[in-house]
Chain A
Amino acid sequence: MINEIFSMNGYGLYVWASFIFTIICFVGLYFQIKLQLKKEQEKFKIRYFDLTREETETLKKQETYREILAFTNISKI
């Protein structure tokens, strides 16, 4: 049974190569995007917590920030 699954009537190399390639692409893309997301989140945290009270007040008044920061889970605005 196991041998049959691996050999796939002689097509095992092609079938497994296709599935493994697909999984490698998925894992690679997932971690690449996750890394980008983490990097930007870290940048944001560092910059955001460095803000003074006045700068935070300025942000509150800007429509773009109200829109963008409305859903952030680390927002202090």
Chain B
Amino acid sequence: MNLILKINKISFKAQKYIFFLFIVVFSIGVVEALILSPSDYKQSDSVRIMYVHVPSAWTSIGIFSVIAILSLGNLVFKNKYFLTIAKSLAPSGLIFNIIALVTGSIWGKPTWGTWWAWDARITSMLVLCIFYILYILSWRVFENKESVKKITSLISILGLINLPIIKFSVEWWATLHQPASIKLSGSSIHSSMLLPLFVMTAAFVLFSILIFLMKYNTELIKIKNKGLDRI
């Protein structure tokens, strides 16, 4: 049995364990974020929005990177599973992107006094959302298998260019959005806030894995059904 088959088999069985783990980690994260973590000396309790806003933005960007890499991989290696995996990742990526935009907007009101600003970081996140929508719509709209593979790969690879823009927008331009607080060199956030942030990030990653597994299995069964139709 090759590696892909092993992954398929695991994906089928792992859903309930991931679901259970997600519920546990998310519950701990919510309690930490809403009750146990301290409020900020400047932003007071509005800082708690960070615990859903930041992990959703990270996860959304991470998922799009994986989609783009898999699309590139498909162009190079012509592996049929790469695009199925990429397609299955897209719904959770889009939802996390929407959560990041909406919670960012909610956080903006008490912090900046506005729900929305055409700021470089926010706008580039909106562009990412458009790429996600185009990617998902392409899978639904185009029926020709070869065309859809090319179009979705093109969208994801073009979208990849936007990712460094999102990351460095706060450094390249004067933006309302604050610069990154967590860098490879260290963090300016206190550990009492960093812990719930990482717990929530772990919960969000688990949720995206759960949705991916369910969607991936759906796609595999769709392939089977199409095959059964052809008999």
CA distance A11 to B44 in the complex (A): 8
Contact B225 A14 (CB under 8 A): no
Chain B residues within 8 Å of A73, by CB? 12
Interface membership of B92, Cβ < 8 A: yes
Closest to B109 in A: A14
Task: Chain B residues near A11: list those with CB within 8 A.
Answer: 44-46, 48, 110
Q: Are B231 and A51 in contact (CB under 8 A)?
A: yes
Chain A residues positioned under 8 Å from B227 (CB to CB)? 59, 62, 64-65, 68
Chain B residue nearest to A19 in the complex (CB): B52
CB distance from A75 to the nearest CB of B (A): 10
Q: What secondary structure prevails in chain B residues at the interface with A? A: helix
Contact-residue size bin, chain A (C-beta under 8 Å from the other chain): 35 or more
Select from chain A the residue with minimum beta-carbon distance to B22: A26
Give the CA-CA distance A41 to B15 in the complex, in Å: 15
Task: Place the interface of chain B in its size category.
Answer: 35 or more
Bound form: Cα–Cα A30–B231 in Å:
33
Cα(A58)–Cα(B228), bound, Å: 11
CA distance A19 to B50 in the complex (A): 10
Write the chain B residue with the least CB distance to A41.
Answer: B221
Residues in chain A near residue B223, CB distance under 8 A: 64, 68
Can you report 29 residue pairs joining A to B where beta carbons are below 8 Å apart?
A: A5-B34, A8-B39, A8-B46, A11-B46, A11-B48, A18-B48, A18-B53, A19-B30, A22-B52, A25-B98, A26-B207, A30-B211, A30-B214, A33-B214, A33-B215, A33-B218, A37-B214, A37-B218, A40-B218, A43-B225, A44-B221, A44-B225, A58-B231, A68-B227, A69-B224, A70-B1, A70-B9, A71-B5, A71-B8
Interface, chain B (partner A; CB < 8 A): 1, 4-5, 8-9, 12, 30, 33-35, 39, 44-46, 48-49, 52-53, 56, 91-92, 95, 98-99, 102-103, 106-107, 109-110, 207, 210-211, 214-215, 217-218, 220-225, 227-229, 231
